Amino acid sequence: MVIATDWVRLLVVCLVLTAAAAAVVRWGGLASPGPVVRAALRATAQLAAVSAVITAVLASLPLTVGFLVLMAAVATGTSAARTGTGRRGAWVGVAILGGALPAIALLVLGGLVPVTGIALVPVGGILVGGAMTATTLSVRRALDALRDRHGEYEAALALGFTEPDAVRELVRRPAAEALLPALDQTRTVGLVTLPGAFVGMLLGGAPVWQAGALQLVVLLALLAVEAVAIVVVVELVARGFVRRASQEEELRLT
């Protein structure tokens, strides 16, 4: 009876939060409420599915590796869709993996993260998620800058810049803004936010110092991961691997 009551409370709170978000988005003229509702439903379905299989995944190293690969694939698809890069969207996966893989390898080789599913899945998810967010934001800002400042791009070419150098000059600063959320999260940790890794370890009974040490490592790893992802994005955009379809035609005519 108590468990049933808890589930009812959970359902009511989730419905209220989703309805509130959808209503505010519509009332503020930000967008239609559809994406908010769809995101909530998708999150519910995905978490239910993960909850059903996570025990088996965490108990098997091959399944853990497969789950991490699935994370990276979904992150790449999500970022590609958000950036509107179409058939070139697969290249954003290079930025995501270029940031996340070395960090995961360093944590494992350094002995800070054991080679077990219970450790690799949450840490890998945090790092891949951070890389995805930084990649999406930096690609959008870089391509918007390239579109809005096309005249400056043409002027740079007229001055003798190569195409990659001209693009780098235009997109580097806008792309770098994607690092601001990670910087702010790191600067304010413990004062404004208590991140999930820290709280999760405390709830699991770990000593406070151990939880704090792990959270520090995760935050610094996120900074490195997102910085690498943004640098890779700049290079991909500069070399023409990542473009929107409309920009490909525009730049060909330049």
List pLDDT tens digits, range 60-75. Answer: 889 999 999 999 999 9
Sign of the alpha-carbon dihedral angle for 23, 26, 29, 31: positive
Both structure tokens of 222: 């996120």
Residue 24: CB atoms within 10 A of its CB come to 12
Predicted model pTM: 0.83
pLDDT value, residue 232: 96
Residue 246's pLDDT is: 67
CA separation, residue 98 to residues 5, 95, 132, 238 (Å): 46, 5, 11, 17
C-alpha closest to that of 150 among 171, 136, 135: 171
Q: Could you please report the per-residue DSSP string of the chain?
A: -HHHHHHHHHHHHHHHHHHHHHHHHHHTTSS-SHHHHHHHHHHHHHHHHHHHHHHHHHH-HHHHHHHHHHHHHHHHHHHHHHHT-GGGGGGHHHHHHHHHHHHHHHHHHTTSS-SSHHHHHHHHHHHHHHHHHHHHHHHHHHHHHHHHTHHHHHHHHHTT--HHHHHHHHHHHHHHGGGHHHHHHHHHBTTTB--HHHHHHHHTT--HHHHHHHHHHHHHHHHHHHHHHHHHHHHHHHTTSS--HHHHHHHHT-
Cβ atoms 156, 207 nearer than 8 A: no
Give the type of residue at 34: G
Could you tell me which of 59, 64, 133, 45 has the C-alpha nearest to residue 95?
133
In the chain, which residues have pLDDT < 70?
1-4, 193-211, 245-254
202, 175, 206: which is closest to 190 by C-alpha?
A: 202
Give me the pLDDT at residue 24, please.
Answer: 93
Is the domain spanning 60-252 CATH 1.10.3470? The answer is no
